[in-house]
Structure 1
């Protein structure tokens, strides 16, 4: 039942008498509280969530959503799986791995956001590293929960390089671009636009960097999605539907007016540089959310065959113990109607 329908039922109940009305209105006054963890610190592309909050979309669905910063796209998945959070914005590939290993603990994807693979290894543009083969014998760095780092074994297999000949070092995420430019590592893992604009914030122009993109070597993967706990999906499906409707509206607002959207981010993190975050937002929409398939299936949805191929890539490359079914990883059951998801990106 939608929140609007719930209110109508409550109003009808009041007409039957005070006692019945009291019973009917009690649940209507209580909002469903949800805790959500993001993929990363507060940045431009996350404006969709803050707009859903600031524009009253969560509230209209009877939801009280707390949104926390994250520590990597891969980290959001176990935090939802272990019950710390009800909702996460995390890497669907990390979810595939969890489903393959511990299906009983796994959350479920309910709204795909990044439908293009953003995974990359960034190197210095004036250096000798240009192809995956050039990485052998070098040192690469990344945060422990970085999605690109977690997918590196699969990338090595598809790119036909020997991972064992590459040294991997962990680093604090905020030091990534600095360590690369200072020559402490030869390359760094990350999402293209995370690295590009984080580098810009420390004075490094994009022409100083070169990107070895996973998508150029056969890794046509989905990336970040809204995931919810199995418990929430089972016990309160209406809350999940309301959550997805609200985020879908926030995303539409963000795409329609990116510049104004940055104000919602700045409310949470006053120290951001608005122009840089605006550029990051626009680049993310163009490069990570603009797969041609959305013209047919709409925002938030997946192509089941494409997801199946992605699952097969990860299972084979990472030698996962089981092969998850698509419906164990993602369900379209909570999506708004297609007409509400055909927002034009450009």
Structure 2
């Protein structure tokens, strides 16, 4: 090809580049998508938690991943997972983040709920039972007869700590669990309102700055790598809006993959939205963020609830999982 023809070709490509990009030749775009796959409901009300659990959804919102799927997500922090679940059931929000015991209990009581996405699997140090630095408590065995703050009555930390106590021959009923928002636990501990607290990141760092020290990881041994939280909707909502749910899952998965590749993205979100000081963001323990719902993994929670006597009959977690959403990742 002559020099003149090469120059002409370059001019043509340059001129066509904006059109090619708009058509999605260099990646997916909203215009590219099959109109038949458009979400039924384009505006979603979501209740999150002011924990590391919410980092992917905040990142997906800020990076425009929901917009790419034709969704507008209005995300507000709930005080605790049980509050989010109540708001879902009362149709105040469409999707709510919660630990799994509350929706399991509601399902057994006749509610029809679905886990539309897993949020967090625990990692070592993500949730800790912490005590004041001058506490006489030295091991989990010392918690009998003490006040222990946990996020929700009959919640996930109470469940796993109870299992750990039973393994050591200690009656979980001997512990006085005090339900409160995790964000309030560092101050409650420092003021002596409780003897210990089951605190999750990013608030473990806040508690340690106030003099607290870790006593025990309730998500260790038989409760390691445990499903901690997920996104829950009513069955009715998922049946009426399957494309909306699929779009929500795709956008969330994109953000999860971003965090997996680059931890600093999570740290920036934590500083911006979770109130984490920039100087300690790199010290946070991050969880595993799954990209799919695994019914086998979630069955661990249901089985443990029954073994602990928290529910009086078995429940098949397939009933709480959207069909096709059973692949681990």
Separation in 2, partners of 1:237, 1:158:
42
Separation in 1, partners of 2:39, 2:320:
34
> How large is the RMSD of aligned CA atoms in angstroms?
3.5
Separation in 2, partners of 1:46, 1:57:
15
Match of 1:38 in 2: 48
Separation in 2, partners of 1:195, 1:51:
20
Separation in 2, partners of 1:32, 1:55:
17
Determine helix, strand or coil for the equivalent of 1:309.
helix
Residue deviations 1:123-177, cap 9 Å, x none?
A: 2355332333211122223454664246655554444322343334445644421
189, 194, 215: which one pairs with 2:198?
A: 189
Match of 2:233 in 1: 228
Separation in 1, partners of 2:232, 2:128:
23
The 3 A distance-change label for structure 1 pair 160 and 248 is same
327, 330, 340: which one pairs with 2:318?
A: 327
Separation in 1, partners of 2:202, 2:309:
25
Distance apart, 1:242 and its partner CA: 0.5
Does the alignment pair 1:111 with 2:117? yes
| Aligned residue pairs, count | 298
8 Å CA contact 2:159–2:308 kept in 1: the answer is: no
Match of 1:294 in 2: none
The 3 A distance-change label for structure 1 pair 93 and 6 is farther
8 Å CA contact 1:119–1:147 kept in 2: the answer is: no
TM-score (norm 2): 0.75
Separation in 1, partners of 2:44, 2:276:
26
Residue deviations 1:35-61, cap 9 Å, x none?
A: 00002x3x5553311221122211121
Please tell me whether Structure 1 or Structure 2 has the larger radius of gyration of its CA atoms: 2
Does the alignment pair 1:91 with 2:99? yes
The 3 A distance-change label for structure 1 pair 187 and 29 is closer
Separation in 1, partners of 2:240, 2:43:
14
Gaps of 5+ in 1: 11-26, 291-297, 342-346
The 3 A distance-change label for structure 1 pair 90 and 9 is closer
Distance apart, 1:225 and its partner CA: 1.4
8 Å CA contact 2:119–2:229 kept in 1: the answer is: yes
Gaps of 5+ in 2: 1-27
178, 182, 190: which one pairs with 2:187?
A: 178
Separation in 1, partners of 2:181, 2:230:
24
Separation in 2, partners of 1:3, 1:327:
34
Determine helix, strand or coil for the equivalent of 1:130.
coil
Separation in 1, partners of 2:273, 2:131:
32
Residue deviations 1:89-125, cap 9 Å, x none?
A: 22123222222222xx232112223122755422235
8 Å CA contact 1:311–1:323 kept in 2: the answer is: yes
Match of 1:140 in 2: 148
251, 255, 260: which one pairs with 1:255?
A: 260
The 3 A distance-change label for structure 1 pair 174 and 301 is closer
8 Å CA contact 2:293–2:321 kept in 1: the answer is: no
Which shows bigger deviation, 221-230 or 151-160?
151-160
Distance apart, 1:237 and its partner CA: 0.6
8 Å CA contact 2:128–2:199 kept in 1: the answer is: yes
Does the alignment pair 1:279 with 2:276? no
Separation in 1, partners of 2:58, 2:127:
25
